[in-house]
Every structure is written in C-alpha cells, then in structure tokens.
A = this chain, B = another copy of it.
Amino acid sequence: DWRARGRGHILRYVALKWALCFLVGVLSAAAGFVANLGVENVAGAKFVVTSNLMLAGRYGTAFAVFLVSNFALTMLATVLTVYVAPAAAGSGIPEVKAYLNGVDAPDIFSLKTLVVKIVGCIAAVSSSLHVGKAGPLVHTGACIASILGQGGSSKYHLTCKWLRYFKNDRDRRDLVTCGAGAGIAAAFRAPVGGVLFALEAVSSWWRSALLWRAFFTTAMVAVVLRALIDFCKSDKCGLFGKGGLIMFDVTSDYITYHLVDLPPVITLGVLGGVLGSLHNFFLDKVLRLYNFINEKGQKYKLLLAAVVTICTSCCLFGLPWIASCKPCPSDTEEACPSIGRSGATYGRLVGMLIGSQSTLDHGLFAVLGSAALLGGSMRMTVSVCVVILELTNNLLMLPLVMLVLLISKTVADAFNANIYDLLVKLKGFPYLEGHVEPYMRQLSVSDVVTGPLQAFNGIEKVGHIVHVLRTTGHNGFPVVDEPPFSDSPVLFGLVLRAHLLVLLRKKDFIPNCSASALDASKQFLPHDFAKPGSGKHDRIEEIEFSAEELEMFVDLHPFTNTSPYTVVETMSLAKAHVLFREVGLRHLLVLPKSSKRAPVVGILTRHDFMPEHILGLHPFLFKTRWKKVRFGKSAFTNLVF
C-alpha cells in the first residue's frame, strides 16, 4: 500500500532502504572488527603470559594461568547467556535460517541478545574452546538488521521515528538476509562469499533485487573493514593484526596441477565427505546430550560449560606433549569456521601421507582439506568455494576446490542432512522444507485439515471474538458473510489475530449488528496495524471487557484481507505445499468443491505441513510402504531436488 502514496514517499522509502543496508553493512563490519579485536587482545594476552611462563620453565604456573583464564572466560560467556539472553546460545545460524523461513522464535533478534552475543563470542573464542566467529557474526549481523528494521528497541527507548517505515515482514526479512550476508563478509572479509552464503544457506525466498542489495551491504562491510584495518596498522589496537583475520597464504605464484593429481584430490574429497557427515552425526548426538543436561536447570548448564572448558584446556595444554615437536607450518592459521581448522590439519595430513606421489604442495592440501570438511559438514558448495577463494586470493585452484567440494558434499549427503538442518530440527523450529515429501502426493489438503474451524461473521459479537481468541491459538480467522448480509454464505476474507486485538483494544464497538459503521477504518491510522517489534506482542488476556461491551458488535469488513490465497479441498497436498512455500504464506484457506457446503472448510498453516503432523494423522503412510521408502529417500531427496 505504500504505492498509493506520492512520489516523495516512495523516494524516501527507497532511500531509507538503501540507507538501512548501508548502516547494516557498517555496523556489521564494526561488530566483526570489535569481535576480532576483543578475541585477539584477550586470547593474545593469555597466550603471551602462558608462553612467557613456559619459556621460563614454570610449566605448572603456566598451566594454571591457562586453565584459570579459560575457565573464567567460558564462565563469563555462559553466565551471560544463561541468565541474560538465553536466545544467544549456540551458533545463531539455525535461528536466522528459521526466521527467514517464516518462524518467529521469541527474542532471537533483541538488543539484549545482540550485546550478549558479541561479548559472549569474544569470551568463548578467547577461551580456546573449539568454536568459531562465523556463526555468532551471522547472528550479530541479522540482529543489527532486525533491530534497525524495526526502528530500534522500544524496550530500552532507543527508537528512531524515521526508521519506522519497515513495519512489515518482507522488508524486515530482506534486511535480515542482508545482515546474515554481512556477518559472513565480516567474519572472512569475503564480500561475494557473504552474498552467496545468504543465498545458499540461510534464505528461503530470494529475489534478484535482494542480490543487489545484499551485494551492496557486503561491499560496505569490506570497505569499512579495510578502513579499520588500515587504522590499526599503526599499532593502536593492541595485539590486533598479529594473528587474526589472517588469510591462507599459498605462496606459490602459479599452482600447476595435472591429471596425476586428481586421485589424491578425489580421495581427499571422499574422506572429507565421510568425516564431515561423521562430524554432523556426532555433533547431533553430543548436542542431544547437552540438551538433555541443559533441560535440568540453569545450574546444570553452568556445570556443563565448566566441565567442557576444563577438558578442552587440559587437552590443548596436554596434547602437544605427546606428539613430537615439529616446526609448525605457517599457513595453518586461518579465519575459517572451527571445522575448517580441523579440515586444514586433515588436508595437510593427507597431503603429507601421499605427498610423495603428488606435485601439489602441502599448503594447497591444507586448503583443499578444509574445503572437503566444510563441504561434508555444511554442504554449501558455491559459497564455501567463494569464501575460500576470497581467503586465499588465488583463483587458479578454483577447479580443484570445486571438485573437492562437490565430491565431499555428494558423499556426505548420502549419509545425513547438513549441519544447519540438523540444528534447526534439534531446536524444534517448524521449518518448511523446499521440497515435497513423496507421501504428500497421495494426500489432498482435506486430509490434513483438522479441528473445528473458527470463522467470524462480517459483523461479529465482541463476546464471541474474545471467547475464540482466548480459547484458540490461531493467528488467522476466515470472515464469512452470512444472511441477511448476503443471500448465501460468502467468504469475505481473512482477518488476523493481531488486527483483531488492535480493534478490541480500541473498543470502538457498535451497539447492534444491523447498524453498519461505514467509516470504522478511518479511526485507525495505518501505523496502528503495523507489525510491532519482535519482542512486543499483544495478548488478549491483557484487555478487560465489561459485560455490555461483550454484548456489542464490531464490523470486521474494513479490517479483513479480502484476497487471501485459497485452494480447493481436493487439491493435492504436494501442490498446496508448493504454493505455501513459494509464495511465502502463513495461512491458506481451503474452499469446498461442492457449492452446497460452507464457503470455507478449513485453514492450513505451517504446522499442517510438518511431517510429524501429517504422519500423525495418517500413520498408515508411515507404517506401510513409506517407512522403507522414506528411509531410502532421505539420501535421495537432497540429490534430486
């Protein structure tokens, strides 16, 4: 409806959109810079003290310092997360992915979460835990985007009036996509990789204009990061720049490779795929265990974190004593996600083992190894490839990296799903898959519509609305015009719970159902119906009604969406799923085939497309042949679609 406004408004809207992208880019870059700065100063100070003590021969004290500092840092991160912002736990990418799929988890993009995420990320990474900065930075970027998009955080009165244009889902989702891309760009200084990551890994819908805006955002990130690093070159930033934001440095000017090198590279890819899927498998199990422990209470969470950090510190300090000392190769340091680092080690190992038969150097094998593990675990081909290219600044090995990524992804897809999907499932988000499960083709939409349908009349009694809102959790209700307002029951449209709450809060009711208030809509500003910030939700319980008010009526016509998307009840569930997913719906009305029944027979939401729901309603699908086939399919669906 912004198009109904004048040209001035449109210009302002467009300018604001770009300005927000610009701000998201700048702030994400700043956040990434602060995170790096913090990590390098804290971890750097820790390592300097520890190694000085070790050089002085005081190994016991060194270990104590190492252990205590790690413990303190981990505990800081854990306490912050547990008691201040539980939504900041974990990598954050699954949350962003679920949000862009249409799942609004509470609090994931609040200001509190943002601050805790940055501080927690610095503390956790500095404490030598096996975690990376990429996930937190993606979440940070998305947080920044979401907060800017909703015009600041109203809870802390940090709002800004002219940022309030974006009170709708689509604009916010676009901004969050840009923010996620900016996060990756800030983590790896890989602007193109960031855009591709946003496209490949997190977004569920994509428009070509978004490509352009995401590109602009990540370009800003790159420019700002460059400026900040230039600023730090003159030793103003403590230990910064002495180990972080380091790129792979494959120094050979021209990497030559021939057909002879293919077998080791393919082996690397296959092994990387197997190891990557094993990593996912064990991560899944370990996280299930953690979840089990965490559910017992906040103290158990702290205890778990303490145990993990002590074990990690002991291992890190102890393991080098076991292996014989070797001169450390200089190019294993890198800015990859945590799994990338193991990957580089793995690649180097393979490279050393079969290096005698190959003309490729070990540094290249380290790069390819990390590519293989990343491909096997994250299953993102194009974005990982571009990120690695941007990190290494060497395009000549592109075909090799592509080959390794494709092989490892294919191998790993045969075993299990990618790490983010596993995490999304583990967190219980109702994520709507892009592909259709095979059994959906056998069902029609009427097979999954459940429960009594709650519909409203065009002019409805307040008491009925309040009762329905209190007793159901639905977010959308069909509005049906019944006689005497029309000659037969006719579907008028769909009204949202949020809009009903605004109406009820206003308490501008009409005394009886025949008097039609023609200008009811004029008493509301468009702003009243704007989507509130993510933390703010009206509740029906908060509104009080007197007995008379409950007997009055309210005219829903002006507040109803008169063009809801609809399907006929005999529509195949698979096709309804395609419609639901491609158009990005929240509610889908089901119309009857025969004209003799009520004008609307049901309403489909995201939850009606979840496999658990469908298989719960039709257990025979699971029991009979689909169990077997589904099991076999899990490997194929990724290949086919």
Interface residues of A (CB under 8 A from B): 1, 3, 7, 10-11, 13-14, 17, 191-192, 195, 199-200, 206-209, 211-212, 215-216, 219, 222-223, 226-227, 230, 258-259, 381-382, 385-386, 389-390, 393-396, 398-399, 402-403, 406, 409, 434-435, 438, 441, 444, 488, 490-491, 562-563, 565-568, 570-572, 575, 578-579, 582-583, 591, 593-596, 599, 629, 632, 636, 638-641
Residue of B14, B394, B409, B582 near A583 (CB, 8 A) is B582
* Residues on B with beta carbons closer than 8 Å to the beta carbon of A3: 438, 441
Residue of B200, B208, B223 near A208 (CB, 8 A) is B200
Known: A434-B208, A641-B207. A395 touches B389 (CB 8 A): yes
Report the bound CA distance from A496 to B394 in whole Å: 52
CB distance from A197 to the nearest CB of B (A): 12
CB distance from A583 to the nearest CB of B (A): 5
Instruction: Please report whether the interface of chain A is mostly helix, strand, loop or mixed according to DSSP.
Output: helix
* Residues on B with beta carbons closer than 8 Å to the beta carbon of A571: 563, 565-566
B566 touches A382 (CB 8 A): no
CB distance from A627 to the nearest CB of B (A): 14
Residue of B223, B394, B403, B639 near A399 (CB, 8 A) is B223
Report the bound CA distance from A208 to B578 in whole Å: 15
* Residues on B with beta carbons closer than 8 Å to the beta carbon of A222: 398-399, 402
- Chain B minimum-CB-distance residue to A593: B490
Known: A191-B399, A208-B200, A570-B563. A381 touches B215 (CB 8 A): yes
Residue of B191, B382, B568 near A491 (CB, 8 A) is B568
Residue of B7, B212, B395 near A409 (CB, 8 A) is B212
Residue among A395, A438, A578, A599 with most chain B CB within 10 A = A395
Residue of B192, B207, B215, B568 near A434 (CB, 8 A) is B207
4 A-B pairs besides A11-B636, A566-B568 with CB distance below 8 A are A1-B441, A7-B629, A565-B579, A566-B567
Report the bound CA distance from A14 to B633 in whole Å: 12
B399 touches A226 (CB 8 A): yes
CB distance from A586 to the nearest CB of B (A): 14
* Residues on B with beta carbons closer than 8 Å to the beta carbon of A206: 206
A396 touches B393 (CB 8 A): yes
A-B contact pairs, 20 of them (CB 8 A): A10-B636, A10-B640, A192-B382, A192-B386, A192-B398, A207-B434, A219-B399, A222-B398, A222-B402, A223-B403, A490-B594, A562-B572, A563-B568, A563-B575, A565-B567, A565-B571, A566-B566, A566-B591, A595-B595, A595-B596
B583 touches A578 (CB 8 A): yes
* Residues on B with beta carbons closer than 8 Å to the beta carbon of A594: 488, 490
* Residues on B with beta carbons closer than 8 Å to the beta carbon of A1: 441
B583 touches A192 (CB 8 A): no
* Residues on B with beta carbons closer than 8 Å to the beta carbon of A403: 219, 223
- Chain B minimum-CB-distance residue to A399: B222
Known: A396-B393, A593-B491, A636-B14. A402 touches B209 (CB 8 A): no
* Residues on B with beta carbons closer than 8 Å to the beta carbon of A208: 200, 434
Report the bound CA distance from A357 to B398 in whole Å: 36
CB distance from A295 to the nearest CB of B (A): 33
- Chain B minimum-CB-distance residue to A221: B399
A200 touches B211 (CB 8 A): yes
- Chain B minimum-CB-distance residue to A395: B393
B219 touches A402 (CB 8 A): yes
* Residues on B with beta carbons closer than 8 Å to the beta carbon of A17: 640
* Residues on B with beta carbons closer than 8 Å to the beta carbon of A438: 3
